[in-house]
Amino acid sequence: MTSSRSATIFALALLAPALIYILTIVAYPLVDTIILSFTNASLKAGYDFVGWANYQRIFGVGNFTEVIVRTFIWTFFSVTTKMVIGMAGAVLLNAAIPGQAVFRILTMPPWIVPMAIGIYMWSWMYNGQFGMISGLLQNFGLVGGPVAWLAYGHTAFWATIVTDVWIGVPMVTIYFLAAMQSIPKDLYEAAWTDGAGRFYRFRRITVPLMVPAIITMSLLSLIATFNSFDIIWILTQGGPSGSTTTMIIDTYKTAIGSRKYGEGAARAVVICIFVSLFCLAYFRAVRKLQQGEAK
Amino acid sequence: MSFHDSKVTLPAGANPLAASASSVAELSKAKAKAKARPSKAMIDRYHWYEVAALYAGIAVFLFFVLAPFIEGFLVSLKPLAQLFSTPYSFIPKTWSFDAYINMWTSVPALGMHIFNSFFISSVVTLIVVAIVVPAAYSFARFNFGGQALLLGMFLAVNMFSGAVLLIPLFRLMRSLGLLNTYFAMIVPGAAFLIPSSIWLLRTYMMRIPRELDEAAWVDGASRLYTLRRVILPLAMPGIVVVAIMTFIGAYAQQFIFALTFNSKTEFMPLPVGLFAFFGKQEVIWNELMAASFVGILPVMIVIIFLQRYLVAGLTAGAVKQ
């Protein structure tokens, strides 16, 4: 039934709307980006091909390599923190104590509210004069005066990471929690009967069995974080003086801000190359994990 | 779990996605167990100091997660003069609901923005479901050359964000004449939600026994009839999960397309519409927070009731075995 020619035609017909949609809205723009990256396109109608000039400019003049390094550092700290807090959250929410169900629901809001709205709230909290963080720290006497978190390069860098972690944590926590719950209970019971303590059981049962979930989530989170735009754009627009300018922000500024479509496209292509590498790593990891499972 | 394991029987009305992952289901199971046995399993017994440490940990964790909402809510209740005064006080000194009244005059289109957010996400959800159901069925049931490659291609789309493709998308929207319309936000928004939905629903449909299709085939049903009358009803729980995940995705992430492809106030969704509060000489923070809460409240309430579907969708969607 499923191998006949009419079946194939039917299968392709079912697939056609999705395929056409994605080809038009994602694949075509992707190709267009690559083409544009070799042109001097701008707001003016029409453009000329300029060869590798855009790439030579972005790597030759200015601080593009600095932006790349910054993006990687930003992403690294954000992803690792998400994983650590997410794991801690999953362990806490997995404990059989009263209130568990309510605590799990209370974890979700940052994930389901419009991202931008959560970020507006953070941007008020970071306010140096009147915001909550600076205010509470002053009330408790931990800092001498107001700290305007978003006004200085190094604090703004970490502040944007904290907000990114905040948005990512619920999803990671709930995912890890589900993975934790799928570990067979009898493993714990057997270990417990043998006298293994809680921490030993966590280290020897929970962690090893969660490795696939951790790898999968880290890579997915890596890709999402690398592409993070809203948080930095709303909080700092890449400033102060470029200290939070990641590759996405840099591309947006060049392309949409300064209307240099060609040069912006070249920057976007560099992002696409990195994302493709992450993608490959992800697919490879998933395949390896599957093979491991089959064994 | 193997995809080719079509022997798994699907009890009528059962929802394997939700059942396997839902915390609620876990909890009710645990409750049922607790009822059956008088005392809690020994392994789950904690010393008092362990319980105290767990609650303390949960308190810290939830404070991090909820602090912005608590602070935002308290800000919405503080008069502006108190907001811009030192020393800082977490709890409002005087309570006032003025922000909830004045915000409607400060941003006249606020009601429209709230509606737009909801409307855009709903249309995106309809488009995605309409496109994803046949595609997922095709991937779940048929074998044809290049299928694996196509599936991989769809998944790769997941990894690119709209922000990277903004320039050509802008040009595309302009040449399609969609700039400054609802569709400028709907069309690209839906595109980036299709791939993960295909994956999720395909996983679900693979669990529906093949024998059912074949029985319908033997009885002389056409392929389309089989999809409509056999598969669709059985896949409904999976479709509901996909629809909810898509709605959340569309609702939570609407910003960059709305910011770049639309400049008409009447079409702006809530997150971009709220920018109006920033335009004044001084940001009217209490009204901004009040408007945020009023804007997200209806959707929040619905989502709290649907949270078990979210857990199910997240686990099935992200595992990607």
Which of A131, A160, A158 has its CA nearest to residue A143? A131
Q: Is A76 on the interface with B (CB under 8 A)?
A: no
Per-residue pLDDT, A69? 92
Average pLDDT over residues A190-216: 85
Q: How confident is the model at residue A2 (pLDDT cuts 50, 70, 90)?
A: very low
Q: Which residue has the higher pLDDT, B33 or A97?
A: A97
Q: Is A158 on the interface with B (CB under 8 A)?
A: no
Q: How confident is the model at residue B196 (pLDDT cuts 50, 70, 90)?
A: confident
Which of B112, B244, B58, B263 has its CA nearest to residue A111? B244
Average pLDDT over residues B218-222: 82
Per-residue pLDDT, A84? 95
The interaxial angle of helices B194-205 and B110-141, nearest 10 deg, is: 50
User: Is residue B279 helix, strand or coil?
Assistant: helix
- Asked if A184 and A243 count as a contact pair (C-beta separation under 8 A), the reply is no
**Is A107 close to B62, i.e. CB distance below 8 A?**
yes
Q: Is the pLDDT of residue B61 over 90?
A: yes
Token pair of A34, please? 């690559």
pLDDT tens string B65-113? 999 999 888 888 888 777 777 777 777 777 888 888 888 888 888 888 9
Of A19, A124, A178, the CB nearest to B315: A178
pLDDT tens string B287-311? 888 988 888 888 888 877 887 777 7
Per-residue pLDDT, B36? 47
Per-residue pLDDT, B127? 95
**Is A112 close to B88, i.e. CB distance below 8 A?**
no
Token pair of A97, please? 């104590």
Residues near A130 by Cβ (< 8 Å), separated by ≥ 6? Answer: B83, B84, B85, B86, B88
Q: Which residue has the higher pLDDT, A81 or B102?
A: A81
Token pair of A247, please? 């590759």
| Rounded (5°) CA angle A23-A25-A28 | 55
Whole-angstrom Cα Rg for chain A: 24
Distance from the A295 Cα atom to the nearest Cα atom in chain B, whole angstroms: 12
Average pLDDT over residues B260-289: 83
Alpha carbon distances (Å) from B276 to A114, A229, B58, B74, B108: 17, 20, 37, 21, 10
Question: What is the sign, positive or negative, of the torsion defined by CA atoms of B164, B165, B171, B175?
Answer: negative
Integer Cα distance of A117 and B299 in angstroms: 14
Residues in chain B closer than 8 A to A220 (CB atoms): 318
Q: How confident is the model at residue B19 (pLDDT cuts 50, 70, 90)?
A: very low
First CA to last CA distance, chain A: 32
Domain ranges (residues) in chain A = 63-294
Integer Cα distance of B197 and B131 in angstroms: 10
**Is B168 close to A134, i.e. CB distance below 8 A?**
no
Residues in chain B closer than 8 A to A268 (CB atoms): 164-167
Integer Cα distance of B148 and B152 in angstroms: 6
pLDDT tens string A120-137? 999 888 887 788 888 888
Per-residue pLDDT, B18? 40
Q: Is A274 on the interface with B (CB under 8 A)?
A: no
Residues in chain B closer than 8 A to A108 (CB atoms): 303, 307, 310
Per-residue pLDDT, B8? 35
Q: Is A103 on the interface with B (CB under 8 A)?
A: yes
Helical ranges in B253-284 per DSSP H = 256-261, 270-273, 276-279
Q: How confident is the model at residue B35 (pLDDT cuts 50, 70, 90)?
A: very low
Task: Give chain A's mean pLDDT.
Answer: 86
Q: Give the DSSP per-residue string, chain A.
A: --SSHHHHHHHHHHHHHHHHHHIIIIIHHHHHHHHHTTB---SSS---B-TTHHHHHHHHSSSHHHHHHHHHHHHHHHHHHHHHHHHHHHHHHHS--TTHHHHHHHT-HHHHS-HHHHHHHHHHHT-TTT-HHHHHHHHTTSSSS---TTTSHHHHHHHHHHHHHHHHHHHHHHHHHHHHHTS-HHHHHHHHHTT--HHHHIIIIIHHHHHHHHHHHHHHHHHHHHT--HHHHHHTTT-STTTT--HHHHHHIIIIIS--HHHHHHHHHHHHHHHHHHHHHHHHHHHHHHHHHH-
Q: How confident is the model at residue B57 (pLDDT cuts 50, 70, 90)?
A: very high
Integer Cα distance of B74 and B95 in angstroms: 9
Correct CATH for B16-36+108-319 of 3.90.950.10, 2.40.320.10, 1.20.120.1200, 1.10.3720.10: 1.10.3720.10
Q: What are phi and psi of A49, to 5 degrees?
A: -80, 135
Average pLDDT over residues B251-274: 86
Return the percentage of chain A with pLDDT > 70, whole number. 98
**Residue where the block lists tokens 């966590």:** A202
**Is A139 close to B87, i.e. CB distance below 8 A?**
yes
Integer Cα distance of A58 and A271 in angstroms: 13
Q: How confident is the model at residue B42 (pLDDT cuts 50, 70, 90)?
A: low
Q: Is B28 on the interface with A (CB under 8 A)?
A: no
**Is A110 close to B65, i.e. CB distance below 8 A?**
yes
Count the Cβ atoms, other than its own, within 10 Å of residue B3: 12
- Asked if A30 and B165 count as a contact pair (C-beta separation under 8 A), the reply is yes
Distance from the B107 Cα atom to the nearest Cα atom in chain A, whole angstroms: 16
Q: Is the pLDDT of residue B21 over 70?
A: no
Of B26, B88, B256, the CB nearest to A139: B88
A43 class by beta-carbon count within 10 Å (0-12 exposed, 13-18 middle, 19+ buried): exposed
Domain ranges (residues) in chain B = 16-36+108-319
Q: What is the ipTM of this complex?
A: 0.87
Q: Which residue has the higher pLDDT, B33 or A122?
A: A122
Residues in chain B closer than 8 A to A96 (CB atoms): 30, 40, 44
CATH superfamily of the domain spanning A63-294:
MetI-like (1.10.3720.10)
- In sequence order, what are the beta bridge partners of B101? none
Task: Give chain B's mean pLDDT.
Answer: 79
User: Is residue B161 helix, strand or coil?
Assistant: coil
Per-residue pLDDT, A17? 92
pLDDT tens string A231-268? 999 898 887 888 888 899 988 888 888 888 888 888 88
Q: Is A17 on the interface with B (CB under 8 A)?
A: yes
Q: Please tell me the pTM assigned to this model.
A: 0.84
Q: How confident is the model at residue A68 (pLDDT cuts 50, 70, 90)?
A: very high
Residues near B80 by Cβ (< 8 Å), separated by ≥ 6? Answer: B284, B285, B286
Per-residue pLDDT, B192? 87
- Asked if A241 and A152 count as a contact pair (C-beta separation under 8 A), the reply is no
Q: How confident is the model at residue A158 (pLDDT cuts 50, 70, 90)?
A: very high
Q: What are phi and psi of B306, to 5 degrees?
A: -100, 10
Alpha carbon distances (Å) from B85 to A106, A158, A172, B284: 31, 26, 38, 14
Question: Which residues 207-236 of A are in CB contact (within 8 Å) with B?
Answer: 213, 216-217, 220, 223, 227, 229-230
Q: Which residue has the higher pLDDT, A166 or B155?
A: A166
User: Is residue B48 helix, strand or coil?
Assistant: helix
Of A267-281, B29-43, B262-276, the one with minimum mean pLDDT is B29-43
Q: Which helix (H) or strand (E) holds B255?
A: none
Per-residue pLDDT, B280? 63
Residues in chain B closer than 8 A to A138 (CB atoms): 87-88
Question: Which residues 110-169 of B are in CB contact (within 8 Å) with A?
Answer: 117, 130-132, 134-135, 137-139, 141-144, 150, 152-157, 159-161, 163-169
Q: Is B261 on the interface with A (CB under 8 A)?
A: no
Distance from the B298 Cα atom to the nearest Cα atom in chain A, whole angstroms: 11
Per-residue pLDDT, B5? 35
